[in-house]
């Protein structure tokens, strides 16, 4: 497979890093991946090879304030910046692969970004896959949430450690060690990002009945970062008939790097294959 990397200009002209992988044959579809808070596009390595092997062109970028992209770590002024960044990058992918249907895959924070984008641009995606989306209670103390709301109004760039518990990431000790040693990961979140996240979370839940895109939700039953009950409730509120919820017993937050990674990835690819247009199967 061929790999390319570069930068594009996101909202406000901010330089954002991206990378792409392409199969040796004509791609059948685009898989655009969006990572979670504190992560970067490289955390999806386990997904890339299986997708490319099925003739998907894979597109990934580092969110603003993450990885190799510019911007203060863990900061956004407004959620619309995430939405516009994704809109620009999805346009780049569609321009490069004009005959391919577009699928979006988002993990955690990336899942919220993808769901929000799909609510605003439902006609542009063939389907959406979200892993461990924070759609309900999250592993952050109520005190920290209240503090973020206060600081967002007066010190929006104020940054705190998320005090992330690495053991909640995966049951795979090697995956945890790799994540802890990854210099591109960070544990910073600003007050404004926190308030924008919770505001968007509420808006997505309130608009569940308006969701019009085929959707697969994958969640671990033992996720202590984004509790699975939020996904269950959101799924129950969806009225679009093409929806699936897969819950994995015992699985933690980063399922694509957990002990059940092979099952999670196989289920996602099977769902993508079933949602390809007949001319692309």
Give the chain's domains with CATH numbers: 2-280 (3.40.50.1820)
Which of left, alpha, beta for 7 (phi over 0: left; psi -120 to 50: alpha)? beta
**Does pTM top 0.75 for this prediction?**
yes
pLDDT tens, the chain, 281 aa long:
899 999 999 999 999 999 999 999 999 999 999 999 999 999 999 999 999 999 999 999 999 999 999 999 999 999 999 999 999 999 999 999 999 999 999 999 999 999 999 999 999 999 999 999 999 877 566 656 666 666 677 777 888 777 788 999 999 999 999 999 999 999 888 989 988 998 999 999 999 999 999 999 999 999 999 999 999 999 999 999 999 999 999 999 999 999 999 999 999 999 999 999 987 76
Distant-in-sequence, close-in-space partners of 250: CB < 8 Å, separation ≥ 6 = 171, 220, 221, 222, 260
d(CA 130, CA 276): 17
- Residue 164: the pLDDT is 80
């Amino acid at each position: 497979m061929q790999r390319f990397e570069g930068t594009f200009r996101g909202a406000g002209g901010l330089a954002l890093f991206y990378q792409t992988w392409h199969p040796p044959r004509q791609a059948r579809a685009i898989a655009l991946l969006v990572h979670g808070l504190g992560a970067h596009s490289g955390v999806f390595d386990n997904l890339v090879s299986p997708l490319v092997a099925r003739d998907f062109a894979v597109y990934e970028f580092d969110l603003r304030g993450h990885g190799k992209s510019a911007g203060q770590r863990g900061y956004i002024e407004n959620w619309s910046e995430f939405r516009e960044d994704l809109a620009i990058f999805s346009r780049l992918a569609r321009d490069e692969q004009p005959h391919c249907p577009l699928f979006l895959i988002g993990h955690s924070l990336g899942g919220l970004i993808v769901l929000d984008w799909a609510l605003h641009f439902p006609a542009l995606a063939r389907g959406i896959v979200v892993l461990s989306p924070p759609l309900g209670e999250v592993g952050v103390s109520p005190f920290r949430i209240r503090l973020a709301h206060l600081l967002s109004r007066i010190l929006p760039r104020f940054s705190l450690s998320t005090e992330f518990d690495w053991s909640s990431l995966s049951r795979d000790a090697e995956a945890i060690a790799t994540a802890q040693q990854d210099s591109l990961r960070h544990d910073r979140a600003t007050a404004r990002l926190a308030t924008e996240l919770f505001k968007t979370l509420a808006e997505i839940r309130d608009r569940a009945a308006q969701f019009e895109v085929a959707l697969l939700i994958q969640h671990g039953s033992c996720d202590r970062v984004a509790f699975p009950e939020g996904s269950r409730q959101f799924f129950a509120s969806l009225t679009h008939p093409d929806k699936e919820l897969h819950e994995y017993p015992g699985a933690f937050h980063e399922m694509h790097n957990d002990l059940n990674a092979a099952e999670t990835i196989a289920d996602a690819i099977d769902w993508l294959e079933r949602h390809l247009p007949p001319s692309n199967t």
